Amino acid sequence: MIAFLGADLVAATVIWVHAKYYGWQYALYLSGLLYLCMVAAGITVHYLFALVGMIPTERPSLQEMVRFSIDYTFFLNLIFLVIGAILIWLHLKNAKEN
C-alpha cells in the first residue's frame, strides 16, 4: 500500500514540474530515487506481512465483497453527497456573479 501512495509522486506531471523548476537531471534523479523507494517499501511490506502470516491464502467470493446494506456508511455517504452538492451549487452561483 505504501508503494501505491508513493506512486502518485512519480506521475508525469510531477516529473515535468520538477524538470521545469530544477532541470531534467534532478527531475530524473528524484524520480528514480522515488521509484527505488517505492519498490523497497513494497517488497519490505510484503515480506513483513509474510513473516507475520497476514497474506491471505484465498480470495473472498464476489458475494462477500459486493453487498448493499443500510448502515452508518450509507448515511455518511448521503451526508457527504449533500455537502458536495451544496459546495458545487455555491461554486456555480459565485461563478455566475463574477
How many structural domains compose the chain? 1
Give CA separation, 82 vs 54, 87, 90, in Å. Answer: 38, 9, 12
Contact at 8 Å (CB) between 15 and 31?
yes
Residue 45 vs residues 8, 33, 41, 55: alpha-carbon distances, Å: 18, 18, 6, 10
Query: Which residue range is the domain that position 46 belongs to?
Result: 2-57+64-97
| Opening angle at CA 46, ends 64 and 51, nearest 5 | 95
Q: What is the pLDDT of residue 87?
A: 97
pLDDT tier for residue 61 given thresholds of 50, 70 and 90: confident
Question: What is the average pLDDT across 41-50?
Answer: 91
pLDDT, mean over the chain: 87
Split at pLDDT 50, 70, 90, the class of 9 is: low
Q: Say what the pLDDT of residue 2 is.
A: 58
Global pTM reads 0.54
Instruction: Summarize pLDDT for 67-94 with one digit per residue, the tens.
Output: 788 999 999 999 999 999 999 999 999 9
Neighbours of 43 (CB within 10 A): 11
Instruction: Find all residues with CB under 8 Å of 76, minimum gap 6, and list them.
Output: none
